[in-house]
A and B are shown apart, each in its own frame.
Chain A
Amino acid sequence: MMRTVIACLLLALGGYAGAAWLTHGFQVWTAEGARRLEVALAPVPAPAVPVEGPAVAPQSLPQLLAAGSAVTIVDFFYTRCQTVCLALGSTFQQLQVSLQADPGAGVTLLSISFDPRDSTPDLRAYAARLRADPRHWRFVRAADARETARLLAAFQVTVVPAPHGDFEHNAALLVVDQHGRLVRVFDIAQQQLALDYARHLASGGRT
């Protein structure tokens, strides 16, 4: 019986260690929670993925993000999306209104398509539909599917094919600092928090 007690104690220790590792010290339960915590603890430099889009000459993503030394709020989307991207689109429209009212904030918006079907004309039409102001809100896509996959992996964006040619993805507001590092991931519902945080960074605040 003593041996069984010892075995159970060892098992309990092992289970505790496993659970603590899996949940980042009992703070998160989902992969999305872990992603947000990991990004907040250790900023992720944007990978050198070539991107292009309407009003954006082909260049690497870090170049684009560092240009103008502005803080960027990034989202991932695809133009055929009928669900969460529409919500993201209207969130970005509201953010754009705030930025138009405060042009010196040093914050810009960037929507990145992950759908290989999306061409630059598709992005242009989508931007026009959302009345995007290119001074504040730009649209790009990676050069090809492999580069897209590299970008999604670096920023821990998981895209799952769904029925009817749709995609399910962990949509969020990604705040990238002036040096092109992803520093914080906010929920779609936290748009004011994301904007305030981006402004704080742009005005020289620390992460």
Chain B
Amino acid sequence: MTRPLAALAAFFILLLPPVREGLEASMSLHMLVQAPLLALCGAVLAAALPARWRERIDRWNAHGIAGLFAVALAMALLMVPRLLDLAVADLRVDLIKAAILLACGAALRVSWARAGALVQGFFLGNVLPMTGAIGQLYQDSPLRLCNAYLLDDQVRLGQALVGAAVLAGVGWAAHLLMKADQGRPSPGANVPIDSGLAARIVWRTSRRSLDNTNMETRIP
């Protein structure tokens, strides 16, 4: 039980005034470091949820659709420039933002594996182009969109957002291809095929199609 405690501690450390101010001093740190760290805390906390709770959540989250929908909505809201300014200027808004990001991380953790390639692809197909478009907007705007941040910071964030969207898309596609490859090893492959591996593949495939278990077993 040390991991969830560490995540909880990290969450509160991220909210400490000096840490908050440091991470919100630049637009890029605010969106690309603070936000993912807060979400990571949520993901680690969600991984430690008791099985009974997970079961109850899963009933409202078939194929991870509700969870990923919530994450997509939150991401759209977080990309409205006014929110960044409000979060810097108003502690209440910043705390709500932190809570939403924590929930986003948790939602991703409990939804991603259940979603399957189709729902994952639909989610990414919406979220990544949105991120890329916002990133392009941040790069192209001749005006500062946030009163609290400098123009060159905004341009840097725009470039990083486009880069992150492309990387995430490529990474997901590569992961998908590798998994598809593992499903049908070619005769020349230097991976020794044993019955154990085959069984694991079959088990994983059946688990993916049924997907009504909330066991989280990692298969090497």
Interface on A for B, CB 8 Å cutoff?
1, 3-4, 6-8, 11-12, 14-15, 18-19, 22-23, 28-35, 158, 160, 162, 168, 170
Known: A160-B150, A168-B144. A4 touches B77 (CB 8 A): no
Interface of A is mostly: helix
Contacting residues, chain B, for A7 (C-beta < 8 A) = 60-61, 66
- CB pair B148–A160 under 8 Å, yes or no, is yes
Known: A7-B61, A19-B76. A31 touches B81 (CB 8 A): yes
A109 to B65 CA separation, bound complex (whole angstroms)? 58
Contacting residues, chain B, for A35 (C-beta < 8 A) = 147
A15 to B77 CA separation, bound complex (whole angstroms)? 8
Leading 8 A-B pairs by shortest Cβ distance: A31-B85, A15-B73, A158-B147, A7-B66, A4-B62, A7-B60, A3-B60, A170-B147
> 5 pairs across A/B with beta carbons < 8 Å?
A3-B59, A12-B69, A29-B81, A30-B145, A158-B147
- Say yes or no for B86: interface residue by CB 8 A criterion: yes
Contacting residues, chain A, for B74 (C-beta < 8 A) = 15
| B68–chain A nearest beta-carbon distance, Å | 10
A4 to B149 CA separation, bound complex (whole angstroms)? 39
**Which A residue's beta carbon lies closest to that of B65?**
A4
Known: A3-B59, A7-B61. A34 touches B82 (CB 8 A): yes
A35 to B63 CA separation, bound complex (whole angstroms)? 42
| A74–chain B nearest beta-carbon distance, Å | 17
| B130–chain A nearest beta-carbon distance, Å | 13
A143 to B80 CA separation, bound complex (whole angstroms)? 36
**Which A residue's beta carbon lies closest to that of B147?**
A158
| A159–chain B nearest beta-carbon distance, Å | 9
- Say yes or no for B83: interface residue by CB 8 A criterion: yes
Kindly supply a per-residue 1/0 record for chain B positions 68-106, scoring 1 wherever the CB is within 8 Å of any chain A CB and 0 otherwise.
011001101100111101100100000000000000000
| B12–chain A nearest beta-carbon distance, Å | 24
| B134–chain A nearest beta-carbon distance, Å | 11
Contacting residues, chain A, for B149 (C-beta < 8 A) = 160
Interface of B is mostly: helix
- CB pair B80–A23 under 8 Å, yes or no, is yes
Q: Number of contacts between A and B (CB, 8 Å)?
A: 77
Known: A3-B59, A33-B82. A158 touches B65 (CB 8 A): no
| B190–chain A nearest beta-carbon distance, Å | 43
**Which B residue's beta carbon lies closest to that of A18?**
B77
A33 to B9 CA separation, bound complex (whole angstroms)? 37
**Which A residue's beta carbon lies closest to that of B137?**
A29
A168 to B148 CA separation, bound complex (whole angstroms)? 9
Additional A-B contact list (10), CB under 8 Å, known A4-B61, A4-B65: A4-B66, A7-B66, A15-B73, A19-B76, A22-B77, A22-B80, A22-B83, A29-B82, A30-B81, A31-B86
**Which A residue's beta carbon lies closest to that of B151?**
A168
Contacting residues, chain A, for B66 (C-beta < 8 A) = 4, 7-8, 11
Known: A3-B59, A3-B60, A31-B86. A11 touches B69 (CB 8 A): yes
- CB pair B148–A12 under 8 Å, yes or no, is no
Contacting residues, chain B, for A34 (C-beta < 8 A) = 82
Known: A23-B80, A30-B81, A31-B86. A8 touches B69 (CB 8 A): yes
- CB pair A11–B81 under 8 Å, yes or no, is no
Interface positions, chain B 25-52, Cβ under 8 Å from A, are none
A6 to B66 CA separation, bound complex (whole angstroms)? 9
**Which B residue's beta carbon lies closest to that of A166?**
B150
| A89–chain B nearest beta-carbon distance, Å | 20
- CB pair B146–A31 under 8 Å, yes or no, is yes
- Taking each of B83, B89, B144, which has the highest tally of chain A beta carbons within 10 Å of its own beta carbon? B144
- CB pair A19–B80 under 8 Å, yes or no, is yes
**Which A residue's beta carbon lies closest to that of B74?**
A15
- CB pair A158–B148 under 8 Å, yes or no, is yes
A33 to B83 CA separation, bound complex (whole angstroms)? 12
A170 to B151 CA separation, bound complex (whole angstroms)? 12
